[in-house]
Amino acid sequence: MGVVYLAEDTHLARRVAIKFLSSLDHHYRARFLREARAVSALSHANIAAVYDYGETDDAKPYIVMELVQGQTLGQLLEDESLTLARSVQIVSSIAEALGEAHHQGIVHRDVKPSNVVITERGQVKVLDFGLVKQIFKSAINDTDASAQTLFSTHTRSDVIVGTPLYFSPEQATGKPVDGRSDLFALGALLYECIAGRSAFSGSSVIEIGAQVIHVEPPPPSRSNPRISPELDRITMKALAKKPEARYQSAEEMLGDLRPVLVTVSSDNHSTPLRSTRSTSSSPPLPTSTLITLTETLRRPRLSLGTFIIAILAISLAGWAILRFWKPAPYVPSPVAIDWHHKGTEAMRNGAFLQATLALKQAIRADDKFALAHARLAEAWTELDYADEAKNEMLRVAELAPDRSRLPRVDALYLEAIHAAVTGDFPSSVKAYSEIVRLSPKESHAYFDLGRAHEKNDDTKKAIVSY
């Protein structure tokens, strides 16, 4: 929708962020104007302030915003640096910001980790009200030339906008939304922070939407036993399917969160996602070949003829080994294989952040596991972390320079994943098709092929595979 630049306000001598609209579509221009007007009406410590808005000489609309420096909540989740207490504290601050917005008649509609920044001083800021909906339509001022444009292109309640993992059921079904929809998204965000996994998952918007509408996620304490029954209750109440069963206001949710925050802060709860590195395995036992040869040479001498025959036999055996023998493929440790299976399953469920965490554990357990590095590259690609994906694929190239030495299916998986990461989806389809041919009874092979078809814009074949 837009591009943001670091800038300096030459009048007030302060650094600011200027957001320019990158599309000239009139719907986007109207939404851009809504963002500026809506946020400029808000004044709260947890909301990024709008200082000014207007158009350049060549009719490009812009917004001058408070420069917020720090890490997004998504980055903190990825770094596994959140404690339980800090998670509750951050969600409480977001609730305060939403409470102010709802009080002004504004629904955010896109509450998600990347729209929350924690500054270097630890202050929480909610950003990007680009999908806001104003509940209360104030009277239009006839002297404001742009006001009629704002309300004539008002965001419709029955248009699905937002981010699928944080949709409310009413958003997913295109029904009218109010502040309780933001509180559902906040509940999903709280769930992810304290449980270490998303409340919902799926490989497409349709699958995620179906879970949001029909599936009750397990209580977060199933994933993190340190979560108290009260925090379980708060999270699940925020995620209630029916709006009337949820918190009716941000203030009500805050009233329940504050006592929990006191409890978890005093208990000094540590990070729910952190795990210790696997200890290195014992070094391999030395081979006994040299010992056997030494013992043989220590035996009494044989006749010259027998010795010549033995030399010829050894030479022939050596030639055969060099000609036909290939080293056995590398076998990862059982712990690494288990984490790899968990990460791959998360990938297939569309829980890409969860997949990266599991695959990192697989690599920590066994850094020579090439397929785990490849799957991690695929997960990074899904999350738009191109540099991390490239680094993982370079590591794969180091570990498996000659794929012909690998089992056929493993080599095909590396080929398919490499093609997907580099955007060569037809080649990815070809490799996965061969995997299906070799493993016709493996359901996950058809699922991977379906994803490859989907990325190759071949919906019909994707549906057949699924």
Catalytic residues, by residue number, are: 110
CA distance 198 to 44: 28
- Exposed (0-12), middle (13-18) or buried (19+): which is 263, by Cβ within 10 Å? middle
Residue 102: other Cβ atoms inside 10 A: 20
Q: What is the DSSP string of 292-355?
A: HHHHHHTSPPPPHHHHHHHHHHHHHHHHHHHHH--PPPP---HHHHHHHHHHHHHHHTT-HHHH
Element (DSSP H or E) covering residue 71:
strand 70-72
- Exposed (0-12), middle (13-18) or buried (19+): which is 58, by Cβ within 10 Å? exposed
Please name the residues in contact with 359: beta carbons below 8 A apart, sequence gap of 6 or more: 339, 340, 343, 372, 375, 376, 379
Q: What are the structure tokens assigned to 411, written together? A: 């080599």
Residue type, 226: R
CA distance 32 to 20: 9
Q: What is the DSSP string of 212-241?
A: HHHPPPPPGGGT-TTS-HHHHHHHHHHT-S
Q: What are the structure tokens assigned to 45, written together? A: 């410590």
Residue 47 has what DSSP assignment? B
Q: What is the DSSP string of 195-208?
A: HSS-S---SSHHHH
Q: Is the dihedral of CA 74, 75, 79, 80 positive or negative?
A: negative
Q: Are strands 124-126 and 116-119 parallel, antiparallel or unpaired?
A: antiparallel
CA distance 35 to 62: 11
- For 8, the 3-state DSSP assignment is strand
